[in-house]
């Protein structure tokens, strides 16, 4: 079987699996967030944290809950890493230095999972399980909670209440993420992913000699790493490591885990607003962009010029032979169009245009389908922008899902889409102007610039993947990427929740002959075009200096 055909067949199998679970998964999540009943274990949690799950919150109260919970998470994880040297199960590893502890704590709490360290040489069992793995669950649940709050803003009227953050957080964790991760972990263990708490031991090599490896609860962390679109690997090689991702089947299964909740949340959205057709319109937009990016990535990685690459059947540099170019292309696109950041190949070794595609996927805002929760609310913000543009074209006050998009709403949406590009471009420009970052770059010229641009694009969009040629374990990059992750995660949430509160206060607007039908293919096309044009106008100059210059050289 040719490598191209193998890649296409894997793509079709993945699409079929996602289609199979779309309706039941999406409907189930809608029921979880709409139910008035609390499970017994949830009541214990509420009692333990002193929260009343039945109290409705305004957008500002909901935001305070998000920020307070996340701040506690950063502090706890930071202290856990600083005290690692005296904790049991540390495997002899010392405490993590302050700058790296700050960076890693922020990274996992913001669902970025950027790693400037070697996991198997830095983190012991306690930090991995009680710290990083726990944040993989709750950071994903926070993103889902904010998305649901925005959906309630569209669904409700004449009230400023968006639900209860603590209830949404606990339900997302216990009813959705925990069961999904448990099932996924069992599958991964059955397919060869390790799951233990063994210490450091010698492993023989094919060519003679040996090297040291430690075990760990890898399968369970790998499961929530993908299900929660986190991306932080137990080992430095991430999903290219055979302990995390041993076979072509596990590779395809992990891609499925990355995409299943973000795509299915569009069904949740449709059910909660009372129109599944609206959910299908958002799904069609996400799927169109994702499939287009996969096709472009396969084309540039299979058909790259050069006799060596043509003889090999594709650009194999930096890719695992057991996965192949096709599967690696699907994984790379899926992980950068979501906020996952996991890698089964090294994006720095992709072709110039292929590396640009991974960057562009993040620059879109990771909305196709995006991260768990963050993809949905990011796409809904873009839908508001698209409706506004359509309203300008026909001279009519724009409406979306029965809510008027007025001055306040469009200002909040505009702030949302501007904050991340500002972070990316400003941090990249400052870094390139200083003498320290160039010493961290393995490459010079366009590729070296791409390394720094990719780093801040990844951090600001809460992705977490990186071009491997950049040494980001410096005080500058640990601090600056940490700030980019914090601002890139929580400033957009401020605008999302403020928009949700503004929408919830409105009364419904009746549908008329002049109302834009946002469930039709015409709107899907408009939305795709708006996303691509806005992103292109924002980032094209930076892309032209990096991946485009390299790819066309």
Extract the tokens encoding 535. 């992103």
Q: Are strands 403-404 and 399-400 parallel, antiparallel or unpaired?
A: antiparallel
**Domain that residue 545 falls in:** 372-552
Chain center to CA of 117: 20
3-state secondary structure of 214: strand
Give mean pLDDT, residues 395-404.
86
> Rounded distance, CA 472 to CA 258, Å?
25
Tens digit of each residue's pLDDT (9 = 90 or more) over 425-477? 999 999 888 876 666 666 677 888 888 898 999 999 999 888 877 788 888 88
Extract the tokens encoding 365. 């805002």
Asked if residue 538 belongs to a domain, the reply is yes
Asked if residue 340 belongs to a domain, the reply is no
Q: How many domains does the chain have?
A: 1
Asked if residue 152 belongs to a domain, the reply is no
Closest CA to 359 of 144, 116, 550, 146: 550
Asked if residue 459 belongs to a domain, the reply is yes
Q: Which band of pLDDT confidence, cut at 50, 70 and 90, is reported for residue 93?
A: confident
Extract the tokens encoding 115. 């790693």
Asked if residue 387 belongs to a domain, the reply is yes
Count of residues for the chain? 553
Mean pLDDT, all residues of the chain: 90
Specify the higher pLDDT residue, 302 or 190: 190
Distances 298 to 3, 276, 385, 548 between C-alpha atoms, Å: 10, 32, 31, 17
Asked if residue 73 belongs to a domain, the reply is no
Question: Would you state the pLDDT for residue 496?
Answer: 97
Asked whether the predicted pLDDT for residue 552 surpasses 80, the reply is no
Please classify residue 471 by burial: count the beta carbons closer than 10 Å to its beta carbon, then call 0-12 exposed, 13-18 middle and 19+ buried.
middle
Asked if residue 544 belongs to a domain, the reply is yes
pTM: 0.94
Backbone φ, ψ for residue 214 (5° rounding): -110, 150
Asked if residue 494 belongs to a domain, the reply is yes
- End-to-end CA, the chain: 33
Q: Return the DSSP state at 201.
A: E
Question: Would you state the pLDDT for residue 330?
Answer: 96
DSSP state string for 240-254: GSTTT--SHHHHHHH
Question: Would you state the pLDDT for residue 308?
Answer: 54
* Cβ-contact 530, 389 below 8 angstroms: yes
> Rounded distance, CA 9 to CA 146, Å?
36
């Amino acid at each position: 079987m040719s490598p191209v055909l193998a890649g296409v067949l894997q793509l079709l199998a993945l699409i079929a699996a996602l289609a199979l679970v779309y309706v039941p998964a999406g409907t189930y999540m809608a029921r979880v967030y709409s139910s008035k009943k609390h499970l017994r274990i949830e009541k214990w949690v509420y009692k333990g944290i002193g929260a009343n799950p039945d109290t409705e919150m305004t957008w500002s109260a909901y935001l305070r809950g998000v920020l307070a919970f996340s701040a506690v998470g950063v502090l706890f994880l930071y202290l856990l890493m600083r005290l690692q040297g005296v904790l049991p199960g540390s495997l002899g590893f010392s405490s993590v230095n302050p700058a790296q502890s700050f960076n890693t704590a922020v990274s996992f709490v913001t669902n970025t999972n950027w790693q400037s360290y070697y996991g198997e040489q830095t983190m012991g069992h306690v930090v991995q399980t009680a710290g990083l793995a726990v944040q993989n669950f709750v950071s994903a649940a926070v993103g889902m909670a904010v998305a649901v709050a925005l959906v309630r803003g569209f669904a409700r009227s004449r009230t400023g209440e968006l639900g209860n953050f603590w209830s949404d957080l606990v339900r997302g964790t216990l009813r959705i993420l925990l069961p999904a991760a448990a099932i996924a972990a069992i599958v991964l263990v059955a397919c060869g992913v390790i799951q233990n708490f063994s210490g450091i031991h010698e492993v023989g090599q094919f060519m003679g000699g040996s090297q040291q490896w430690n075990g760990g609860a890898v399968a369970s962390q790998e499961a929530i790493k993908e299900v929660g679109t986190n991306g932080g690997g137990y080992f430095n090689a991430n999903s290219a490591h055979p302990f995390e991702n041993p076979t072509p089947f596990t590779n395809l299964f992990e891609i499925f885990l990355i995409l299943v909740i973000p795509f299915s949340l569009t069904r949740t959205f449709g059910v909660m607003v009372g129109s599944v057709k609206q959910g299908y319109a958002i799904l069609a937009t996400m799927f169109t962009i994702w499939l287009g990016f996969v096709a472009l990535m396969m084309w540039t990685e299979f058909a790259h010029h050069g006799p060596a690459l043509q003889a090999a059947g594709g650009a194999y540099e930096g890719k695992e032979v057991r996965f192949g170019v096709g599967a690696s292309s699907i994984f790379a696109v899926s992980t950068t169009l979501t906020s996952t950041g996991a890698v089964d190949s090294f994006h720095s070794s992709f072709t110039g245009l292929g590396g640009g595609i991974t960057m562009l996927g993040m620059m879109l805002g990771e909305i196709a389908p995006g991260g768990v929760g963050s993809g949905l609310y990011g796409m809904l913000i873009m839908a508001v922008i698209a409706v506004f543009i359509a309203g300008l074209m026909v001279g009519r006050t724009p409406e979306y899902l029965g809510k008027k998009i007025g001055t306040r709403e469009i200002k909040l949406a505009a702030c949302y889409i501007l904050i991340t590009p500002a972070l990316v471009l400003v941090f990249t420009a400052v870094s390139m102007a200083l003498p320290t970052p160039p010493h961290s770059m393995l490459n010079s010229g366009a590729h070296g610039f791409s390394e720094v641009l990719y780093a801040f694009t990844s951090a600001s969009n809460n992705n977490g993947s990186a071009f491997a040629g950049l040494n980001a374990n410096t005080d500058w990059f640990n601090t600056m990427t940490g700030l980019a992750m914090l601002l890139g995660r929580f400033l957009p949430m401020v605008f999302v929740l403020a928009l949700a509160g503004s929408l919830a206060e409105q009364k419904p607007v009746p549908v008329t002959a002049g109302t834009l039908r946002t469930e039709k293919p015409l709107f899907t096309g408009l939305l795709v075009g708006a996303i691509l044009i806005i992103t292109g106008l924002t980032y094209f100059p930076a892309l032209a200096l990096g991946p485009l210059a390299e790819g066309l050289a």
